[in-house]
Chains A and B, each alone.
Chain A
Amino acid sequence: MKKTLFDKVWDSHVVDSVENGPQILYIDKHLIHEVTSPQAFAELEQRNIPVFRPDQIVATADHNVPTLNQHLPIQDALSRKQVEQLTENCKKHGVTLYGLGHKYQGIVHVMAPELGITQPGMTMVCGDSHTSTHGAFGTIAFGIGTSQVAQVFASQCLLLSKPKKMRINVNGKLRKGVLPKDVILYIIAKLGTNSGTGYFAEYAGDVFENMSMEGRMTVCNMSIEMGARGGMIAPDETTFAYVKGKEFAPKGSAFDKKVAYWKTLKTDEGAVFDKEYSFDAEDIAPMVTYGTNPGMGIKIDGHIPELNDISFEKSLRYMGFEKGETLLGKPINYVFIGSCTNSRIEDFRIAADYIRGKQKAANVNALIVPGSQQVAKQIEEEGLKEVFEEAGFVLRQPGCSACLAMNDDKIPAGEYCVSTSNRNFEGRQGQGARTILASPLIAAATAVKGAIAAPYEEEITVPA
């Protein structure tokens, strides 16, 4: 039978099937962090169940950590307790932890790929919906709830019904200034926030084939924003070159053997998807969102649609926008470049290239938060730190930061923030804060202009 990439990885991980019910799926790697793991550890302890395979779990602290003075004890008592609880749980159960102060600490979806923990053909889970990021490697990776975190602790498996399959093809050449973030925001705007519910997505076509691993991770990261539990891209030479030499990647002949297997992880010619969509790269422009879900996106010079719908109108009221208006030139006081969507070195290189020799506008607070300690180190080594600081941007220490504002990095009520993160939900970046999702390039251009700006104005108009 012709198989898709998803079928190949899924089927090779099925331990057993329950009659008329779900399958038992084996999980290769389990990533955990401080926010969604404590209740799972507690559950196990309460039931006197040991962690089954501690060697297949990797922990880091990211959601709730400060991005300033990480060498000092965390000031907020609840946050400190949560991070300490993670340390204690990992120690007690023999789980490797890259906690605050460790050179590998970082946002879980940034640090695992850059350490070679993420490898093609694996199954990976984490109590975080953006686990879909790792699908960029041809990995089945998805977010789970805390009850499932406990299940994986207890058995290294999950009980799941096999999702349906969808393929999204994008072919052609991307226009100047159009980044992977724009590609995924465009797809979600076209398909809607629940088009992927019940499905695993595969992204195919030359746009993804020509993308860097960082770009592929940005795309797969936001699969969940259209409801898909995960999104995958077939591994290729770009993938193998990225994984090769990483700390925990196989070495020497073991690596070559893996590559031989990874090369088989492609959707067979003629394999059938439950649904399929195709887009032309030329139609994609730099994107911004105007509403309170990631599907509410328009081309940067586009107009907000004129819909008569209670939820749509509620959303515009929250954002303070009118139907039919355009966002270009809207004054903006906050810019955030970070999050598991866009905090890899490539994102900061792109932003720094634009910013170099320019100054942020006086009204703007521009926050740069690297995804990991390794990215932070690269930012220094490549001289990007100076670029950001000379332009008046504030460079912080790694963590999830203002993406979900669990720490002190919050956007004030009523303020707009052009953000490279993944969710523009009400209050996501702080109570009453209004989020406009965009690429690192638009974020950088907006910070310089003090208003929503296209990086290359001559390139923004795309024929309808």
Chain B
Amino acid sequence: MEKFITHTSRAIPLPIENIDTDQIIPARFLKATNKAGFGENLFRDWRYNKDGSENESFPLNDTGYSGTILIAGDNFGCGSSREHAAWALADYGLKVIVSSYFADIFKGNALNNGLLPVQVSPGYLKELLAAVQNDPATEILVNLEEQYIAIKGSDKKEPFEIDAYKKLCLLNGYDDIDFLISKKGKIEEFELRLGSATKPY
């Protein structure tokens, strides 16, 4: 996995609440057996009209907006566990998703793909959205090491939480498989305990 330390970019506002993973990547695009190319169909049914033309009013198609940070409404990534949603966002080129709330499974999937979910207060989310909507050239700075997000040029730093272990993984580009395999001995011991008379279940 790629390392993530800090990231600065313009941002795309998507102030819709409860964006579910079916909207991020509709089920009909889940037939692939590899991880590549899902970005093409990111937000497919919002990004394109029925005739296949681009929906110009959708923020991703608004040429005024650009960048690799998406600022979305509350409860982002709810619904299906499909990791294809995280793959699609990352494949499209996004590095950070900001919201006032993330669904659990999506959050884990994003972190496992080097895509940083940044949870901010509803008030700060409004501030960020307003800043970007007023001036699409606004740059947002995300500092994972020091755990804050800020509007570039502003002194205000909004702190965000992240699991300490996950932070370490992102900063170093580690993933969970390597860690778990390094614990094989403990896992096998646990299995032996299960096989004994004290078997808990």
* A residues in contact (CB < 8 Å) with B: 9, 12-13, 15-16, 18, 20-22, 24, 26, 28, 35-36, 38-39, 42-43, 47, 49, 52, 63-64, 76, 78-79, 81-82, 85, 121-122, 127-129, 143-148, 150-151, 154-159, 161, 163, 193-194, 197-198, 224, 227, 229, 261, 292-293, 310-311, 314, 404-406, 413, 423, 425-428, 431-432
Does B80 interact with chain A (Cβ within 8 Å)?
yes
Does B187 interact with chain A (Cβ within 8 Å)?
yes
Q: Within the assembled complex, what's the spacing in Å between the Cα atoms of A425 and B27?
A: 11
* Smallest CB gap from A14: residue in B: B190
Q: Within the assembled complex, what's the spacing in Å between the Cα atoms of A194 and B50?
A: 31
For B20, the chain A residues whose CB sits under 8 A away are: 293, 423, 425
Q: Which of B76-117 contact A (CB under 8 A)?
A: 78-84, 86, 101-105, 108-109, 112-113
Q: Within the assembled complex, what's the spacing in Å between the Cα atoms of A300 and B201?
A: 43
Of A26, A38, A42, A49, the residue contacting B190 (CB under 8 A) is A26
Q: If the complex has contacts A197-B101, A227-B75, A227-B78, are A432 and B32 also in contact, measured as CB distance less than 8 A?
A: no
Q: Once the chains bind, are A428 and B22 in contact (CB under 8 Å)? A: yes
Q: Once the chains bind, are B31 and A64 in contact (CB under 8 Å)? A: yes
Binds A, one of B56-64, B120-128, B151-159, B173-181: B173-181
For B102, the chain A residues whose CB sits under 8 A away are: 197
Q: Once the chains bind, are A35 and B30 in contact (CB under 8 Å)? A: yes
Does B3 interact with chain A (Cβ within 8 Å)?
no
Rounded to whole Å, the gap between the CB of B198 and the closest CB of chain A is 10
Binds A, one of B11-19, B130-138, B141-149: B11-19
Q: Within the assembled complex, what's the spacing in Å between the Cα atoms of A63 and B177?
A: 26
Q: If the complex has contacts A78-B32, A145-B83, A145-B86, are A229 and B104 also in contact, measured as CB distance less than 8 A?
A: yes
Q: Within the assembled complex, what's the spacing in Å between the Cα atoms of A360 and B24?
A: 36
Q: Once the chains bind, are A39 and B176 in contact (CB under 8 Å)? A: no
Of A81, A157, A193, A314, the residue contacting B33 (CB under 8 A) is A81
Rounded to whole Å, the gap between the CB of A102 and the closest CB of chain B is 21
Q: Once the chains bind, are A227 and B104 in contact (CB under 8 Å)? A: yes
Q: Within the assembled complex, what's the spacing in Å between the Cα atoms of A227 and B102?
A: 10
Would you give 30 A-B contacts (Cβ < 8 Å), ordered by A?
A15-B183, A18-B165, A26-B187, A26-B194, A39-B83, A42-B33, A49-B177, A81-B31, A128-B80, A129-B80, A145-B82, A146-B83, A147-B83, A154-B177, A155-B184, A156-B187, A194-B101, A197-B75, A227-B104, A404-B27, A404-B80, A406-B27, A423-B22, A423-B80, A425-B22, A426-B23, A427-B22, A428-B27, A432-B45, A432-B50
Q: Once the chains bind, are A154 and B181 in contact (CB under 8 Å)? A: yes
* Smallest CB gap from B78: residue in A: A193
For B81, the chain A residues whose CB sits under 8 A away are: 36, 127-129, 143-145
Max chain A Cβ within 10 angstroms of own Cβ: one of B15, B81, B102, B187: B81
Of A42, A49, A82, A150, the residue contacting B31 (CB under 8 A) is A82
Rounded to whole Å, the gap between the CB of A292 and the closest CB of chain B is 8
Of A85, A150, A194, A405, the residue contacting B27 (CB under 8 A) is A405
Q: Which 6 A-B pairs have CB atoms at the shortest separation, nearest pair first?
A: A21-B165, A145-B83, A147-B112, A145-B109, A155-B180, A78-B31
For B35, the chain A residues whose CB sits under 8 A away are: 39
* Smallest CB gap from B28: residue in A: A406
Rounded to whole Å, the gap between the CB of A56 and the closest CB of chain B is 10
Max chain B Cβ within 10 angstroms of own Cβ: one of A47, A161, A427: A427
Q: Within the assembled complex, what's the spacing in Å between the Cα atoms of A64 and B177?
A: 28
Q: Within the assembled complex, what's the spacing in Å between the Cα atoms of A261 and B198?
A: 11
For B186, the chain A residues whose CB sits under 8 A away are: 15-16, 24
Does B34 interact with chain A (Cβ within 8 Å)?
yes
* Smallest CB gap from B75: residue in A: A194
Rounded to whole Å, the gap between the CB of A78 and the closest CB of chain B is 4
Of B179, B191, B200, the residue contacting A159 (CB under 8 A) is B179
For B168, the chain A residues whose CB sits under 8 A away are: 21
* Smallest CB gap from A257: residue in B: B199
Q: Once the chains bind, are A155 and B104 in contact (CB under 8 Å)? A: no
Rounded to whole Å, the gap between the CB of B182 and the closest CB of chain A is 9
Q: If the complex has contacts A193-B75, A426-B45, A427-B26, are A161 and B31 also in contact, measured as CB distance less than 8 A?
A: no
Does B39 interact with chain A (Cβ within 8 Å)?
no
Rounded to whole Å, the gap between the CB of A432 and the closest CB of chain B is 7
Of A21, A35, A194, A311, the residue contacting B164 (CB under 8 A) is A21
Q: Once the chains bind, are A79 and B31 in contact (CB under 8 Å)? A: yes
Q: Once the chains bind, are A159 and B31 in contact (CB under 8 Å)? A: no
Does B51 interact with chain A (Cβ within 8 Å)?
no
Q: Within the assembled complex, what's the spacing in Å between the Cα atoms of A143 and B78?
A: 12
For A63, the chain B residues whose CB sits under 8 A away are: 27, 30
Q: Once the chains bind, are B105 and A47 in contact (CB under 8 Å)? A: no
Q: Within the assembled complex, what's the spacing in Å between the Cα atoms of A81 and B165?
A: 37
Q: Once the chains bind, are B190 and A159 in contact (CB under 8 Å)? A: no
Additional A-B contact list (11), CB under 8 Å, known A21-B164, A423-B20: A16-B186, A36-B82, A78-B31, A128-B81, A145-B105, A148-B108, A155-B177, A157-B180, A193-B75, A423-B22, A425-B22
Q: If the complex has contacts A21-B165, A145-B112, A311-B17, are A155 and B201 also in contact, measured as CB distance less than 8 A?
A: no
